[in-house]
């Protein structure tokens, strides 16, 4: 497949890039410095790039994948703004399939069966990362306004543990005890959705 990848130098993005190339996909990475990647790339800052550059990067792609996310709390807002730029570019081209990384549970109904501990941790996280969670919620809302064939892969706390491919998923519903996942497995899950039509226009969760 012909893939366009955003945020290929990030924690999850690096695994997306490595796994996509290993699987034989033709990959174009949109990054600030493509020379460091050793593959065909487009030099662009997603938030300030000329829209024409982004359109050229996604046009003709079988799928567009984004590992975009904040690296620090001050980056709140980057996810929805960056995804808006990607969506705008795709809607002006032939590209239709979009897979983005999100936060576990946001965009899904919260089950009443969660334990007191899970609710408490969720509440505390909501206070600490309020701006980031609002950004993710805006992302989820944005996707639903488009006609793109999108999938949002919600992940919990990510680690640098190695790839296992042994994780659980839930499509369109809450995944119980979703507390951790490696970045490598998050990338694997995102790529796997490209062969899963049931994930189109769905928010899903992945965790061990």
Q: Say yes or no to pLDDT of 194 above 50.
A: yes
Q: Is the pTM here over 0.85, yes or no?
A: yes
Of the pLDDT bands very low, low, confident and very high (cuts 50, 70, 90), residue 92 is: very high
Residues 81, 21 contacting (CB under 8 angstroms):
no
Instruction: Report all structural domains of the chain as residue ranges with CATH numbers, in order of start.
Output: 2-207 (3.40.50.720)
What angle in degrees, to the nearest 10, is found between the helix axes of 183-192 and 11-22?
50
Residues in the chain: 208
Residue 73 and residue 208: Cα distance in Å, rounded? 25
Chain mean pLDDT for the chain: 88
117-163: pLDDT as tens digits: 445 445 444 544 567 788 999 999 999 999 999 999 999 999 999 99
Radius of gyration, alpha carbons of the chain: 16
How much of the chain exceeds pLDDT 90, in percent? 68
Of the pLDDT bands very low, low, confident and very high (cuts 50, 70, 90), residue 116 is: very low
Task: Reduce the DSSP state of residue 152 to 3 states and report it.
Answer: strand
Residues 159, 126 contacting (CB under 8 angstroms):
no
How much of the chain exceeds pLDDT 70, in percent? 87
In the chain, count H helices and then E strands.
6, 10
Sheet of strand 97-103, all strands in order from the earlier edge strand to the far edge: 41-43, 26-31, 2-6, 63-66, 97-103, 149-155, 202-207, 168-171
Residues 135, 84 contacting (CB under 8 angstroms):
no
pLDDT at 127: 43
**196 burial class (0-12, 13-18, 19+ CB within 10 angstroms)?**
middle
């Amino acid at each position: 497949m012909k893939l366009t990848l955003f945020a290929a130098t990030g924690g999850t993005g690096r695994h997306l890039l490595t796994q996509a190339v290993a699987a034989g996909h033709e990959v174009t990475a949109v990054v600030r410095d493509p020379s460091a990647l050793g593959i065909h790339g487009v030099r662009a800052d997603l938030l300030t790039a000329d829209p024409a550059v982004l359109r050229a990067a996604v046009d003709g792609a079988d799928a567009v994948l984004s590992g975009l996310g904040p690296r620090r709390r001050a980056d709140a807002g980057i996810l929805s703004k960056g995804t808006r730029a990607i969506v705008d570019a795709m809607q002006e081209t032939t590209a239709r399939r979009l897979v983005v990384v999100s936060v576990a549970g946001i965009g899904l109904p919260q089950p009443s069966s969660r334990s007191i501990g899970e609710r408490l941790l969720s509440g505390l996280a909501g206070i600490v990362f309020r701006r980031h969670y609002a950004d993710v919620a805006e992302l989820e809302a944005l996707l639903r306004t488009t006609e793109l064939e999108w999938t949002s892969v919600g992940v919990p706390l990510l680690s640098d543990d190695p790839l296992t491919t042994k994780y659980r998923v839930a499509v369109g519903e809450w995944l119980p005890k979703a507390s951790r996942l490696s970045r490598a497995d998050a990338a694997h899950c995102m790529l796997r959705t490209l062969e899963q039509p049931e994930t189109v226009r769905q928010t899903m969760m992945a965790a061990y």
